[in-house]
Structure 1
Amino acid sequence: MDKISISGLVLGLVAIVGGQILEGGHVGSLVQPTALLIVLGGTVGAVLLQSPYHIFRQGLQMAKWVWIPPVVAQKAQLDQILKWSQLSRREGLLALENLIPALKDPFARKGLQLLVDGADPERIRELLEVEIDAYEEELRQSAKIWESAGGYSPTIGILGAVMGLIHVMENLSDPTKLGPGIAVAFVATIYGVGLANLIYLPIAGKLKYYISRMVASREMLVDGLVGIAVGDNPRIIEVRLNGYLR
Protein backbone atom coordinates (compact mmCIF):
# COMPACT_ATOMS: atom_id res chain seq x y z
CA MET A 1 0.00 0.00 0.00
CA ASP A 2 1.39 3.37 -1.06
CA LYS A 3 0.96 5.44 2.11
CA ILE A 4 2.13 8.69 0.53
CA SER A 5 -0.74 8.57 -1.99
CA ILE A 6 -3.29 8.11 0.78
CA SER A 7 -1.67 10.86 2.85
CA GLY A 8 -1.68 13.26 -0.08
CA LEU A 9 -5.36 12.68 -0.86
CA VAL A 10 -6.42 12.98 2.78
CA LEU A 11 -4.34 16.14 3.27
CA GLY A 12 -5.86 17.76 0.20
CA LEU A 13 -9.43 16.98 1.24
CA VAL A 14 -8.84 18.07 4.84
CA ALA A 15 -7.32 21.36 3.66
CA ILE A 16 -10.30 22.16 1.43
CA VAL A 17 -13.01 21.12 3.90
CA GLY A 18 -11.12 22.72 6.78
CA GLY A 19 -10.85 25.98 4.88
CA GLN A 20 -14.57 25.91 4.24
CA ILE A 21 -15.26 25.45 7.96
CA LEU A 22 -12.78 28.16 9.02
CA GLU A 23 -14.51 30.60 6.69
CA GLY A 24 -17.76 29.95 8.48
CA GLY A 25 -19.24 27.78 5.75
CA HIS A 26 -21.03 24.48 6.16
CA VAL A 27 -19.69 21.19 4.82
CA GLY A 28 -23.19 20.33 3.67
CA SER A 29 -23.11 23.22 1.20
CA LEU A 30 -20.39 21.37 -0.71
CA VAL A 31 -22.55 18.28 -1.13
CA GLN A 32 -24.60 18.63 -4.31
CA PRO A 33 -25.43 15.29 -6.02
CA THR A 34 -26.73 17.00 -9.15
CA ALA A 35 -23.52 18.95 -9.67
CA LEU A 36 -21.48 15.79 -9.05
CA LEU A 37 -23.55 13.89 -11.60
CA ILE A 38 -23.01 16.59 -14.23
CA VAL A 39 -19.25 16.74 -13.66
CA LEU A 40 -18.58 13.00 -13.38
CA GLY A 41 -20.97 12.01 -16.14
CA GLY A 42 -19.76 14.68 -18.52
CA THR A 43 -16.10 13.90 -17.87
CA VAL A 44 -16.50 10.15 -18.30
CA GLY A 45 -18.51 10.69 -21.46
CA ALA A 46 -15.82 12.92 -22.97
CA VAL A 47 -13.06 10.44 -22.11
CA LEU A 48 -15.07 7.55 -23.56
CA LEU A 49 -15.58 9.50 -26.77
CA GLN A 50 -11.84 10.14 -26.99
CA SER A 51 -10.53 6.66 -26.18
CA PRO A 52 -10.94 3.14 -27.60
CA TYR A 53 -12.66 0.85 -25.12
CA HIS A 54 -9.65 -1.37 -24.38
CA ILE A 55 -7.51 1.71 -23.62
CA PHE A 56 -10.20 3.12 -21.33
CA ARG A 57 -10.58 -0.20 -19.50
CA GLN A 58 -6.84 -0.63 -19.07
CA GLY A 59 -6.51 2.95 -17.80
CA LEU A 60 -9.12 2.25 -15.12
CA GLN A 61 -7.34 -0.95 -14.11
CA MET A 62 -4.01 0.86 -13.88
CA ALA A 63 -5.47 3.32 -11.35
CA LYS A 64 -4.92 0.74 -8.60
CA TRP A 65 -1.16 1.32 -9.03
CA VAL A 66 -1.64 4.59 -7.12
CA TRP A 67 -2.54 2.58 -4.01
CA ILE A 68 -0.83 -0.74 -4.76
CA PRO A 69 2.28 -0.03 -6.89
CA PRO A 70 3.28 -2.61 -9.51
CA VAL A 71 6.26 -4.74 -8.62
CA VAL A 72 9.34 -3.57 -10.54
CA ALA A 73 12.12 -5.74 -9.10
CA GLN A 74 15.10 -4.28 -10.95
CA LYS A 75 17.64 -5.52 -8.39
CA ALA A 76 16.32 -9.09 -8.68
CA GLN A 77 16.40 -8.77 -12.46
CA LEU A 78 20.00 -7.57 -12.34
CA ASP A 79 20.97 -10.60 -10.25
CA GLN A 80 19.19 -12.86 -12.72
CA ILE A 81 21.01 -11.34 -15.71
CA LEU A 82 24.35 -11.76 -13.96
CA LYS A 83 23.59 -15.45 -13.34
CA TRP A 84 22.80 -15.85 -17.04
CA SER A 85 26.04 -14.15 -17.93
CA GLN A 86 28.12 -16.36 -15.63
CA LEU A 87 26.39 -19.52 -16.84
CA SER A 88 26.89 -18.64 -20.51
CA ARG A 89 30.60 -17.98 -19.95
CA ARG A 90 31.04 -21.35 -18.22
CA GLU A 91 28.85 -23.58 -20.39
CA GLY A 92 27.92 -21.56 -23.47
CA LEU A 93 24.72 -19.87 -24.61
CA LEU A 94 22.88 -23.16 -25.15
CA ALA A 95 23.03 -23.80 -21.40
CA LEU A 96 20.51 -20.97 -20.98
CA GLU A 97 17.84 -22.81 -22.96
CA ASN A 98 16.78 -24.88 -19.94
CA LEU A 99 15.98 -21.67 -18.04
CA ILE A 100 13.46 -20.33 -20.56
CA PRO A 101 10.36 -22.36 -19.50
CA ALA A 102 10.71 -21.18 -15.89
CA LEU A 103 10.51 -17.49 -16.84
CA LYS A 104 7.10 -15.95 -16.12
CA ASP A 105 7.67 -12.77 -18.12
CA PRO A 106 6.94 -13.36 -21.85
CA PHE A 107 9.27 -10.50 -22.78
CA ALA A 108 12.17 -12.10 -20.87
CA ARG A 109 11.40 -15.48 -22.44
CA LYS A 110 11.46 -13.99 -25.90
CA GLY A 111 14.74 -12.16 -25.26
CA LEU A 112 16.47 -15.20 -23.80
CA GLN A 113 15.21 -17.37 -26.67
CA LEU A 114 16.70 -14.96 -29.19
CA LEU A 115 19.97 -15.07 -27.29
CA VAL A 116 20.02 -18.90 -27.22
CA ASP A 117 19.18 -19.01 -30.92
CA GLY A 118 22.37 -17.08 -31.61
CA ALA A 119 20.74 -13.95 -33.01
CA ASP A 120 23.04 -11.03 -33.78
CA PRO A 121 23.35 -8.69 -30.75
CA GLU A 122 22.11 -5.65 -32.64
CA ARG A 123 19.27 -7.68 -34.08
CA ILE A 124 18.27 -8.71 -30.55
CA ARG A 125 18.27 -5.07 -29.48
CA GLU A 126 16.29 -4.00 -32.54
CA LEU A 127 13.58 -6.65 -32.17
CA LEU A 128 13.11 -6.14 -28.44
CA GLU A 129 13.13 -2.34 -28.60
CA VAL A 130 10.29 -2.43 -31.12
CA GLU A 131 8.27 -4.38 -28.56
CA ILE A 132 9.30 -2.00 -25.77
CA ASP A 133 8.14 1.00 -27.81
CA ALA A 134 4.74 -0.60 -28.45
CA TYR A 135 4.44 -1.61 -24.78
CA GLU A 136 5.28 1.89 -23.56
CA GLU A 137 2.94 3.57 -26.03
CA GLU A 138 -0.03 1.44 -24.98
CA LEU A 139 0.61 2.05 -21.27
CA ARG A 140 1.01 5.79 -21.79
CA GLN A 141 -2.17 5.98 -23.86
CA SER A 142 -4.01 4.17 -21.06
CA ALA A 143 -2.60 6.53 -18.42
CA LYS A 144 -3.53 9.48 -20.62
CA ILE A 145 -7.25 8.95 -19.95
CA TRP A 146 -6.65 10.38 -16.46
CA GLU A 147 -4.76 13.33 -17.87
CA SER A 148 -7.59 13.91 -20.33
CA ALA A 149 -10.14 13.70 -17.51
CA GLY A 150 -8.13 16.37 -15.69
CA GLY A 151 -8.51 18.61 -18.73
CA TYR A 152 -12.21 18.01 -19.31
CA SER A 153 -13.38 18.11 -15.69
CA PRO A 154 -12.92 21.87 -14.98
CA THR A 155 -14.67 22.74 -18.24
CA ILE A 156 -17.59 20.44 -17.45
CA GLY A 157 -17.67 22.05 -13.99
CA ILE A 158 -18.05 25.48 -15.58
CA LEU A 159 -20.79 24.07 -17.79
CA GLY A 160 -22.59 22.83 -14.67
CA ALA A 161 -22.20 26.25 -13.05
CA VAL A 162 -23.69 27.99 -16.08
CA MET A 163 -26.60 25.56 -16.08
CA GLY A 164 -27.17 26.36 -12.42
CA LEU A 165 -27.08 30.10 -13.11
CA ILE A 166 -29.63 29.66 -15.87
CA HIS A 167 -31.90 28.02 -13.32
CA VAL A 168 -31.29 30.96 -10.95
CA MET A 169 -32.18 33.45 -13.68
CA GLU A 170 -35.46 31.66 -14.18
CA ASN A 171 -36.33 32.42 -10.54
CA LEU A 172 -35.44 36.11 -10.40
CA SER A 173 -38.92 36.85 -9.19
CA ASP A 174 -38.05 35.29 -5.84
CA PRO A 175 -34.96 37.10 -4.40
CA THR A 176 -34.75 34.70 -1.45
CA LYS A 177 -33.67 31.93 -3.82
CA LEU A 178 -30.93 33.87 -5.59
CA GLY A 179 -28.15 33.52 -3.00
CA PRO A 180 -28.54 29.80 -2.32
CA GLY A 181 -29.10 29.12 -6.02
CA ILE A 182 -25.87 30.85 -7.05
CA ALA A 183 -23.95 29.02 -4.32
CA VAL A 184 -25.24 25.68 -5.54
CA ALA A 185 -24.33 26.58 -9.13
CA PHE A 186 -20.70 27.22 -8.26
CA VAL A 187 -20.37 23.90 -6.43
CA ALA A 188 -20.14 22.29 -9.88
CA THR A 189 -17.02 24.38 -10.56
CA ILE A 190 -15.54 23.23 -7.26
CA TYR A 191 -16.17 19.60 -8.21
CA GLY A 192 -14.68 20.07 -11.67
CA VAL A 193 -11.51 21.83 -10.55
CA GLY A 194 -11.16 19.75 -7.38
CA LEU A 195 -11.47 16.37 -9.10
CA ALA A 196 -9.04 17.44 -11.81
CA ASN A 197 -6.32 18.68 -9.46
CA LEU A 198 -6.79 16.32 -6.52
CA ILE A 199 -7.63 13.07 -8.35
CA TYR A 200 -7.23 12.89 -12.11
CA LEU A 201 -3.97 14.75 -12.78
CA PRO A 202 -2.13 13.30 -9.74
CA ILE A 203 -3.15 9.79 -10.80
CA ALA A 204 -1.87 10.46 -14.33
CA GLY A 205 1.44 11.73 -12.97
CA LYS A 206 1.99 8.72 -10.71
CA LEU A 207 1.07 6.26 -13.47
CA LYS A 208 3.63 7.89 -15.76
CA TYR A 209 6.28 7.43 -13.09
CA TYR A 210 5.57 3.71 -12.77
CA ILE A 211 5.43 3.30 -16.55
CA SER A 212 8.88 4.86 -16.87
CA ARG A 213 10.22 2.41 -14.26
CA MET A 214 8.66 -0.57 -16.02
CA VAL A 215 10.08 0.52 -19.36
CA ALA A 216 13.51 1.09 -17.80
CA SER A 217 13.35 -2.44 -16.39
CA ARG A 218 12.81 -3.85 -19.88
CA GLU A 219 15.56 -1.69 -21.31
CA MET A 220 17.91 -3.00 -18.63
CA LEU A 221 17.02 -6.55 -19.63
CA VAL A 222 17.77 -5.81 -23.28
CA ASP A 223 21.07 -4.18 -22.37
CA GLY A 224 22.02 -7.22 -20.30
CA LEU A 225 21.08 -9.69 -23.04
CA VAL A 226 23.11 -7.77 -25.61
CA GLY A 227 26.06 -7.70 -23.21
CA ILE A 228 25.87 -11.48 -22.86
CA ALA A 229 25.56 -11.89 -26.63
CA VAL A 230 28.74 -9.91 -27.34
CA GLY A 231 30.59 -11.79 -24.60
CA ASP A 232 31.07 -8.99 -22.07
CA ASN A 233 32.54 -9.89 -18.72
CA PRO A 234 29.84 -10.27 -16.02
CA ARG A 235 31.54 -7.53 -14.03
CA ILE A 236 31.28 -5.13 -16.98
CA ILE A 237 27.60 -6.00 -17.36
CA GLU A 238 26.97 -5.43 -13.67
CA VAL A 239 28.64 -2.01 -13.70
CA ARG A 240 26.65 -0.92 -16.73
CA LEU A 241 23.28 -2.19 -15.46
CA ASN A 242 23.78 -0.65 -12.03
CA GLY A 243 23.18 2.68 -13.75
CA TYR A 244 19.52 1.69 -14.21
CA LEU A 245 19.12 1.16 -10.47
CA ARG A 246 20.32 4.67 -9.70
Structure 2
Amino acid sequence: MDITTIIGLLAGIAAMVGGFLWEGGSLSGLLQPNAALIVFGGTLAAVLVSFPASRLRSAAAGLRLALSRQNDTSREQAEELISMATAARRGGVLALEKRAEEHPDPFTREGLFLVVDGNDPAEVRQILELHMDARELKYEGYAKVFEAAGGYAPTMGIIGTVMGLIRVLVNLTDPSHLGASIAVAFTATLYGVASANLIFLPIASKIKSRSQSELNRMEMLLVGILSLQNGDHPHLVRQKLSSFLPDNIRSSDAGVKPDSPPRGEKL
Protein backbone atom coordinates (compact mmCIF):
# COMPACT_ATOMS: atom_id res chain seq x y z
CA MET A 1 0.00 0.00 0.00
CA ASP A 2 1.14 3.56 -0.76
CA ILE A 3 1.18 5.14 2.69
CA THR A 4 0.98 8.71 1.37
CA THR A 5 -2.24 8.00 -0.50
CA ILE A 6 -3.84 6.34 2.51
CA ILE A 7 -2.72 9.12 4.86
CA GLY A 8 -3.99 11.77 2.45
CA LEU A 9 -7.43 10.19 2.16
CA LEU A 10 -7.78 9.68 5.90
CA ALA A 11 -6.40 13.14 6.73
CA GLY A 12 -8.86 14.82 4.37
CA ILE A 13 -11.85 13.05 5.86
CA ALA A 14 -10.57 13.62 9.40
CA ALA A 15 -10.06 17.34 8.76
CA MET A 16 -13.56 17.73 7.37
CA VAL A 17 -15.27 15.79 10.16
CA GLY A 18 -13.04 17.32 12.85
CA GLY A 19 -13.77 20.84 11.69
CA PHE A 20 -17.50 20.14 11.72
CA LEU A 21 -17.37 18.72 15.25
CA TRP A 22 -15.17 21.60 16.41
CA GLU A 23 -17.88 24.02 15.39
CA GLY A 24 -20.33 22.21 17.65
CA GLY A 25 -21.86 19.84 15.13
CA SER A 26 -22.78 16.26 15.93
CA LEU A 27 -21.58 13.19 14.10
CA SER A 28 -25.16 12.05 13.60
CA GLY A 29 -25.77 15.21 11.61
CA LEU A 30 -23.26 14.05 8.98
CA LEU A 31 -24.64 10.52 8.71
CA GLN A 32 -27.61 10.75 6.36
CA PRO A 33 -28.27 7.47 4.54
CA ASN A 34 -30.82 9.01 2.18
CA ALA A 35 -28.35 11.68 1.04
CA ALA A 36 -25.61 9.05 0.62
CA LEU A 37 -27.94 6.91 -1.48
CA ILE A 38 -28.78 9.81 -3.80
CA VAL A 39 -25.18 10.99 -4.21
CA PHE A 40 -23.25 7.73 -4.42
CA GLY A 41 -26.01 5.75 -6.07
CA GLY A 42 -26.56 8.48 -8.65
CA THR A 43 -22.81 8.86 -9.27
CA LEU A 44 -22.44 5.12 -9.77
CA ALA A 45 -25.37 5.07 -12.19
CA ALA A 46 -23.95 7.98 -14.20
CA VAL A 47 -20.55 6.28 -14.42
CA LEU A 48 -22.20 3.03 -15.55
CA VAL A 49 -23.95 4.90 -18.34
CA SER A 50 -20.78 6.76 -19.38
CA PHE A 51 -18.41 3.83 -19.90
CA PRO A 52 -18.57 0.35 -21.41
CA ALA A 53 -18.32 -2.67 -19.14
CA SER A 54 -14.71 -3.37 -20.18
CA ARG A 55 -13.63 0.10 -19.06
CA LEU A 56 -15.50 -0.20 -15.78
CA ARG A 57 -13.83 -3.52 -14.99
CA SER A 58 -10.47 -1.81 -15.37
CA ALA A 59 -11.40 0.76 -12.69
CA ALA A 60 -10.42 -1.75 -10.00
CA ALA A 61 -6.97 -2.04 -11.57
CA GLY A 62 -6.73 1.75 -11.58
CA LEU A 63 -7.62 1.89 -7.89
CA ARG A 64 -4.96 -0.73 -7.11
CA LEU A 65 -2.46 1.31 -9.10
CA ALA A 66 -3.25 4.44 -7.07
CA LEU A 67 -3.15 2.70 -3.70
CA SER A 68 -0.24 0.31 -4.26
CA ARG A 69 3.31 1.23 -3.42
CA GLN A 70 5.54 1.77 -6.43
CA ASN A 71 9.29 1.37 -5.97
CA ASP A 72 11.50 3.55 -8.13
CA THR A 73 13.77 1.13 -9.98
CA SER A 74 15.01 3.62 -12.57
CA ARG A 75 18.55 3.70 -11.17
CA GLU A 76 18.83 -0.10 -11.09
CA GLN A 77 17.53 -0.36 -14.64
CA ALA A 78 19.91 2.34 -15.83
CA GLU A 79 22.85 0.49 -14.28
CA GLU A 80 21.63 -2.71 -15.92
CA LEU A 81 21.56 -1.06 -19.34
CA ILE A 82 25.08 0.28 -18.80
CA SER A 83 26.21 -3.25 -17.93
CA MET A 84 24.55 -4.51 -21.11
CA ALA A 85 26.36 -1.83 -23.10
CA THR A 86 29.66 -3.20 -21.81
CA ALA A 87 28.66 -6.74 -22.79
CA ALA A 88 27.46 -5.61 -26.22
CA ARG A 89 30.75 -3.81 -27.00
CA ARG A 90 32.69 -6.92 -26.11
CA GLY A 91 30.55 -9.59 -27.74
CA GLY A 92 28.11 -7.74 -30.00
CA VAL A 93 24.36 -7.45 -29.52
CA LEU A 94 24.00 -11.23 -29.83
CA ALA A 95 25.61 -11.42 -26.39
CA LEU A 96 22.37 -9.93 -25.02
CA GLU A 97 20.15 -12.78 -26.22
CA LYS A 98 20.37 -14.73 -22.98
CA ARG A 99 19.63 -11.62 -20.93
CA ALA A 100 16.62 -10.93 -23.13
CA GLU A 101 15.22 -14.40 -22.54
CA GLU A 102 15.56 -14.11 -18.77
CA HIS A 103 14.59 -10.46 -18.29
CA PRO A 104 11.50 -9.98 -16.09
CA ASP A 105 10.40 -6.64 -17.59
CA PRO A 106 8.26 -7.21 -20.75
CA PHE A 107 9.17 -3.85 -22.31
CA THR A 108 12.91 -4.38 -21.89
CA ARG A 109 12.65 -8.00 -23.04
CA GLU A 110 10.77 -6.98 -26.19
CA GLY A 111 13.30 -4.25 -26.98
CA LEU A 112 16.29 -6.54 -26.50
CA PHE A 113 14.79 -9.20 -28.76
CA LEU A 114 14.17 -6.58 -31.46
CA VAL A 115 17.80 -5.51 -31.23
CA VAL A 116 19.17 -9.07 -31.18
CA ASP A 117 17.05 -9.97 -34.22
CA GLY A 118 18.79 -7.21 -36.19
CA ASN A 119 15.79 -4.95 -36.83
CA ASP A 120 16.28 -1.45 -38.16
CA PRO A 121 16.66 1.15 -35.36
CA ALA A 122 13.73 3.14 -36.73
CA GLU A 123 11.52 0.06 -36.56
CA VAL A 124 12.71 -0.71 -33.02
CA ARG A 125 11.83 2.82 -31.94
CA GLN A 126 8.44 2.69 -33.65
CA ILE A 127 7.45 -0.63 -32.07
CA LEU A 128 8.54 0.38 -28.58
CA GLU A 129 6.81 3.76 -28.86
CA LEU A 130 3.61 1.92 -29.79
CA HIS A 131 3.95 -0.05 -26.56
CA MET A 132 4.39 3.22 -24.69
CA ASP A 133 1.31 4.74 -26.34
CA ALA A 134 -0.73 1.67 -25.40
CA ARG A 135 0.41 1.92 -21.77
CA GLU A 136 -0.42 5.62 -21.68
CA LEU A 137 -3.91 5.03 -23.08
CA LYS A 138 -4.54 2.28 -20.52
CA TYR A 139 -3.61 4.50 -17.59
CA GLU A 140 -5.56 7.39 -19.09
CA GLY A 141 -8.60 5.12 -19.23
CA TYR A 142 -8.18 4.33 -15.53
CA ALA A 143 -8.04 8.02 -14.63
CA LYS A 144 -11.04 9.02 -16.75
CA VAL A 145 -13.39 6.77 -14.78
CA PHE A 146 -12.49 8.50 -11.52
CA GLU A 147 -12.50 11.93 -13.17
CA ALA A 148 -16.02 11.25 -14.40
CA ALA A 149 -17.10 10.22 -10.90
CA GLY A 150 -15.53 13.41 -9.56
CA GLY A 151 -17.55 15.43 -12.04
CA TYR A 152 -20.88 13.70 -11.40
CA ALA A 153 -20.72 13.57 -7.59
CA PRO A 154 -21.15 17.34 -6.91
CA THR A 155 -24.05 17.48 -9.36
CA MET A 156 -25.71 14.55 -7.65
CA GLY A 157 -25.17 16.37 -4.37
CA ILE A 158 -27.03 19.40 -5.72
CA ILE A 159 -29.83 17.16 -6.96
CA GLY A 160 -30.08 15.62 -3.49
CA THR A 161 -30.20 19.09 -1.93
CA VAL A 162 -32.95 20.23 -4.29
CA MET A 163 -34.96 17.12 -3.51
CA GLY A 164 -34.53 17.76 0.20
CA LEU A 165 -35.60 21.38 -0.16
CA ILE A 166 -38.70 20.27 -2.05
CA ARG A 167 -39.60 18.14 0.94
CA VAL A 168 -38.96 21.13 3.20
CA LEU A 169 -41.31 23.34 1.18
CA VAL A 170 -43.99 20.69 1.26
CA ASN A 171 -43.83 20.67 5.08
CA LEU A 172 -43.80 24.44 5.70
CA THR A 173 -46.79 24.05 8.00
CA ASP A 174 -44.45 22.58 10.65
CA PRO A 175 -41.82 25.31 11.28
CA SER A 176 -40.25 23.44 14.19
CA HIS A 177 -38.61 20.93 11.84
CA LEU A 178 -37.53 23.34 9.09
CA GLY A 179 -33.96 23.84 10.39
CA ALA A 180 -33.22 20.15 10.73
CA SER A 181 -34.77 19.35 7.34
CA ILE A 182 -32.71 22.03 5.57
CA ALA A 183 -29.52 20.76 7.25
CA VAL A 184 -30.27 17.24 6.04
CA ALA A 185 -30.89 18.57 2.52
CA PHE A 186 -27.53 20.32 2.35
CA THR A 187 -25.74 17.21 3.58
CA ALA A 188 -26.16 15.80 0.07
CA THR A 189 -24.15 18.70 -1.37
CA LEU A 190 -21.49 18.08 1.24
CA TYR A 191 -21.28 14.41 0.27
CA GLY A 192 -20.99 15.23 -3.42
CA VAL A 193 -18.36 17.98 -3.17
CA ALA A 194 -16.32 16.19 -0.49
CA SER A 195 -16.23 12.83 -2.27
CA ALA A 196 -15.22 14.49 -5.53
CA ASN A 197 -12.39 16.57 -4.06
CA LEU A 198 -11.17 14.17 -1.38
CA ILE A 199 -11.53 10.82 -3.14
CA PHE A 200 -12.37 10.66 -6.85
CA LEU A 201 -10.29 13.50 -8.32
CA PRO A 202 -7.19 12.87 -6.11
CA ILE A 203 -7.22 9.20 -7.13
CA ALA A 204 -7.39 10.24 -10.79
CA SER A 205 -4.46 12.60 -10.26
CA LYS A 206 -2.46 9.84 -8.56
CA ILE A 207 -3.06 7.52 -11.51
CA LYS A 208 -1.85 10.23 -13.90
CA SER A 209 1.24 10.75 -11.77
CA ARG A 210 1.97 7.04 -11.82
CA SER A 211 1.42 7.03 -15.58
CA GLN A 212 3.95 9.82 -16.08
CA SER A 213 6.52 8.00 -13.96
CA GLU A 214 5.98 4.79 -15.92
CA LEU A 215 6.30 6.56 -19.26
CA ASN A 216 9.49 8.27 -18.10
CA ARG A 217 10.88 4.86 -17.14
CA MET A 218 9.94 3.40 -20.51
CA GLU A 219 11.46 6.37 -22.34
CA MET A 220 14.71 5.79 -20.45
CA LEU A 221 14.65 2.13 -21.43
CA LEU A 222 13.97 3.07 -25.05
CA VAL A 223 16.98 5.40 -25.15
CA GLY A 224 19.15 2.75 -23.51
CA ILE A 225 18.06 -0.02 -25.87
CA LEU A 226 18.71 2.15 -28.93
CA SER A 227 22.14 2.99 -27.49
CA LEU A 228 22.88 -0.72 -27.19
CA GLN A 229 21.91 -1.23 -30.79
CA ASN A 230 24.07 1.72 -31.83
CA GLY A 231 27.07 0.28 -29.99
CA ASP A 232 27.53 3.34 -27.75
CA HIS A 233 30.24 3.29 -25.14
CA PRO A 234 28.96 2.55 -21.59
CA HIS A 235 30.05 6.01 -20.43
CA LEU A 236 27.98 7.63 -23.19
CA VAL A 237 25.03 5.42 -22.26
CA ARG A 238 25.38 6.58 -18.65
CA GLN A 239 25.34 10.21 -19.75
CA LYS A 240 22.18 9.67 -21.79
CA LEU A 241 20.30 7.82 -19.07
CA SER A 242 21.26 10.17 -16.24
CA SER A 243 18.85 12.80 -17.56
CA PHE A 244 15.94 10.45 -16.79
CA LEU A 245 16.93 9.82 -13.18
CA PRO A 246 15.40 11.83 -10.32
CA ASP A 247 17.45 14.80 -9.16
CA ASN A 248 18.19 13.25 -5.77
CA ILE A 249 19.70 10.17 -7.43
CA ARG A 250 21.76 12.23 -9.85
CA SER A 251 23.05 14.48 -7.09
CA SER A 252 24.10 11.46 -5.04
CA ASP A 253 26.19 10.25 -7.97
CA ALA A 254 27.65 13.67 -8.71
CA GLY A 255 30.87 12.98 -6.87
CA VAL A 256 31.36 9.52 -8.33
CA LYS A 257 33.85 9.32 -11.13
CA PRO A 258 32.28 7.68 -14.19
CA ASP A 259 33.65 4.48 -15.55
CA SER A 260 36.72 5.21 -17.64
CA PRO A 261 36.80 3.67 -21.10
CA PRO A 262 38.92 0.60 -21.63
CA ARG A 263 42.43 1.29 -22.81
CA GLY A 264 42.64 1.81 -26.52
CA GLU A 265 38.95 2.70 -26.93
CA LYS A 266 37.61 6.13 -27.76
CA LEU A 267 34.36 7.66 -26.59
Give your verdict on TM over 0.5.
Answer: yes
AA in 2 matched with 1:208: K
AA in 1 matched with 2:207: L
Please give the TM-score of this superposition, normalised by the length of structure 1: 0.94
Cα distance in 2 for partners of 1:139, 1:4 equals 20
Q: Cα distance, 1:233 vs. partner?
A: 0.8
Match of 1:9 in 2: 9
SS at structure 1 position matched to 2:232? coil
Match of 2:21 in 1: 21
Cα distance in 2 for partners of 1:228, 1:144 equals 37
Match of 1:171 in 2: 171
AA in 2 matched with 1:213: S
Q: Cα distance, 1:78 vs. partner?
A: 0.9
Cα distance in 1 for partners of 2:75, 2:52 equals 36
| More off after superposition, 125-134 vs 70-79 | 70-79
Match of 1:206 in 2: 206
Residues 93-148 of structure 1 deviation map (CA, whole Å, 9 limit, x = unaligned): 11111122212222222111100011121221111101211210121111121111
Give me the identity figure in percent.
43
Match of 2:56 in 1: 56
Match of 2:256 in 1: none
Match of 1:33 in 2: 33
Confirm or deny: 8 A CA contact 1:46 1:152 kept in the other structure.
Answer: yes
Cα distance in 2 for partners of 1:13, 1:148 equals 21
Confirm or deny: 8 A CA contact 2:3 2:69 kept in the other structure.
Answer: no
Match of 1:186 in 2: 186
Confirm or deny: 8 A CA contact 2:66 2:210 kept in the other structure.
Answer: no
Match of 1:244 in 2: 244
Cα distance in 1 for partners of 2:233, 2:185 equals 68
AA in 2 matched with 1:31: L
Cα distance in 2 for partners of 1:20, 1:38 equals 22
Match of 1:114 in 2: 114
Query: 5 Å matches for 1:64-83?
Result: 64-83=64-83
Q: Cα distance, 1:72 vs. partner?
A: 4.2
RMSD: 1.5
Residues 62-110 of structure 1 deviation map (CA, whole Å, 9 limit, x = unaligned): 2133332234411121122112211111111111111222122222221
Cα distance in 2 for partners of 1:66, 1:229 equals 35
Match of 1:132 in 2: 132
Please give the TM-score of this superposition, normalised by the length of structure 2: 0.87
AA in 1 matched with 2:126: E
Confirm or deny: 8 A CA contact 1:122 1:226 kept in the other structure.
Answer: no
AA in 2 matched with 1:41: G
Confirm or deny: 8 A CA contact 1:6 1:67 kept in the other structure.
Answer: yes
Cα distance in 2 for partners of 1:11, 1:171 equals 38
Cα distance in 1 for partners of 2:34, 2:230 equals 64
SS at structure 2 position matched to 1:244? coil
| More off after superposition, 173-182 vs 26-35 | 173-182
Match of 1:149 in 2: 149
Cα distance in 2 for partners of 1:59, 1:219 equals 25
* Alignment coverage as a number of residue pairs: 246
Structure 2: runs of 5 or more not aligned = 247-267
SS at structure 2 position matched to 1:110? helix
Cα distance in 2 for partners of 1:8, 1:98 equals 44
| Higher helix proportion (structure 1 or 2) | 1
